[in-house]
Amino acid sequence: MNKFNPLLYLVTDRGLAKGRPIENIVEQAVNGGVTMVQLREKDCTTLEFVNLAVRLKKILAPFQVPLIINDRLDVALAADADGLHIGQQDMPYVIARKLLGKNKIIGFSVENIAQAREANKMDVDYIGLSPVFVTGTKPELMNALGLEGIREIASFSKHCMVAIGGINARNAGDVLQAGANGLAVVSAIVSADDPMMAAREIRQEIDKFIKT
Amino acid sequence: MNKFNPLLYLVTDRGLAKGRPIENIVEQAVNGGVTMVQLREKDCTTLEFVNLAVRLKKILAPFQVPLIINDRLDVALAADADGLHIGQQDMPYVIARKLLGKNKIIGFSVENIAQAREANKMDVDYIGLSPVFVTGTKPELMNALGLEGIREIASFSKHCMVAIGGINARNAGDVLQAGANGLAVVSAIVSADDPMMAAREIRQEIDKFIKT
């Protein structure tokens, strides 16, 4: 099993960055306590995606914060990223593992209880539970798992569980209490006026929970 | 240098297939004389792209017709395709070669004389000259190379040259005469009522030219 700290997992979305360079937001967020970063880009060329991944890897290296690429195994390989996050409609897990090798982190999105049970058959490094709460980032996912869903999946899943969807400083403790091992955040950091402060606030809530 | 026959190179576009499964069109086209197939998909999930590539590879294997994947090195690896076609905004060539190895075919699009000169520094397996004529398939490329452009690039390029853009049975001979080593075709086959017959007609023109 690959080692990583999933506590506060930033997932990028340039569309929510209010025109600011995503590199700056990532760097500020890491300074605020983000422990892991996922680069998620849907509307750019492969060349832009690779170049952005290479730049982020350089920014993250001194912090020893892993860079995970969403969906695109080619970009992960090209940038020698630390891992890949795949969804239900992405590269099949078995192929991704074969191509990336055992030393890369692979995360897998599950959107309901049945998918979480299915994921128990795979040796993924973590599962992303999505969405915990309904959010504007992925309006197509209407059925939120809720805290109840997190609790249920936590009762049987063998995997490290990262929750995503509508998570912020106010509900962070509740989501961890329900069983999540880490919190993935998009808009609460990417859209924040001060991404470092936004990350720090969520991180403080996480640290408060861990200490109790 | 990898061996392949570039004479009649089918490039897919599901949007032009008039609702017919692209697998059927490819199989008919290969029966009509297509020597190489490029799977080009812009609007589908990675899973769909991989599954389609795997199906096409099975269809093409008995014909010994190579399957080339457009842009997506991850899909090429996942399906163990015969090669990758990259454009100016795709994966950098040096990285693609490193990840694919020397035994896979790599093609590279050039859209003007300067890019063709630049390509002479790379050990790509072929260059795609695009567009020869202005076409509806890629309306963003307004400056066609024309037969004159093909002739000029042929005068200095060290690469196998495949021409693409507006090629059909009527102009096939002219494009080969100008110096192209192969003809890439999209709509003249994909949109044809009878893709096998459409491929056969172009192939006959090619064979006529070769014999002269």
Q: Which two tokens stand for residue B20?
A: 């017919």
What's the pLDDT at B163?
98
DSSP, res B128: E
What's the pLDDT at B81?
98
Considering only residues A163 and B1, tell me which one the structure prediction assigns the higher pLDDT. Answer: A163
CA distances from B21 to A44, A108, B117, B199 (A): 27, 30, 38, 17
**A contacts of B50 (beta carbons < 8 Å):** 91-92, 95
Residue A166 sits at the vertex; the CA angle it makes with A161 and A169, to the nearest 5 degrees, is 85
pLDDT class of A134 with cuts at 50, 70, 90: confident
What's the pLDDT at A2?
83
User: Would you call A144 an interface residue with chain B, using a CB distance cutoff of 8 Å?
Assistant: no
Q: Is A62 exposed, middle or buried (0-12, 13-18, 19+ CB in 10 A)?
A: exposed
> Which residue, among B75, B91, B98, B104, would best test binding to A if mutated, counting the most A CBs under 10 Å from its CB?
B91
pLDDT in tens, A26-82: 999 999 999 999 999 888 999 999 999 999 999 999 999 999 999 999 999 999 999
What's the pLDDT at A136?
64
pLDDT in tens, A153-195: 999 999 999 999 999 999 999 999 999 999 999 999 999 999 9
**A contacts of B90 (beta carbons < 8 Å):** 45-47
Are B46 and A90 in contact (CB < 8 Å)? yes
What's the pLDDT at A140?
56
pLDDT at B138 over 80: no
Helix (H) or strand (E) holding A210: helix A195-211
pLDDT class of B91 with cuts at 50, 70, 90: very high
Q: What is the residue extent of each domain of chain B?
A: 8-209
pLDDT at A138 over 70: no
What's the pLDDT at B2?
82
pLDDT class of B170 with cuts at 50, 70, 90: very high
What's the pLDDT at A20?
97
Average pLDDT in chain A = 95
Q: Tell me the pTM.
A: 0.94
pLDDT class of B141 with cuts at 50, 70, 90: low
For domain B8-209, which architecture applies? Answer: Alpha-Beta Barrel (3.20)
**B contacts of A45 (beta carbons < 8 Å):** 89-90
User: Would you call B43 an interface residue with chain A, using a CB distance cutoff of 8 Å?
Assistant: no
What's the pLDDT at A211?
85
pLDDT in tens, B6-35: 999 999 999 999 999 999 999 999 999 999
pLDDT in tens, B37-54: 999 988 899 999 999 999
Q: Is A142 exposed, middle or buried (0-12, 13-18, 19+ CB in 10 A)?
A: exposed
**A contacts of B89 (beta carbons < 8 Å):** 45-48
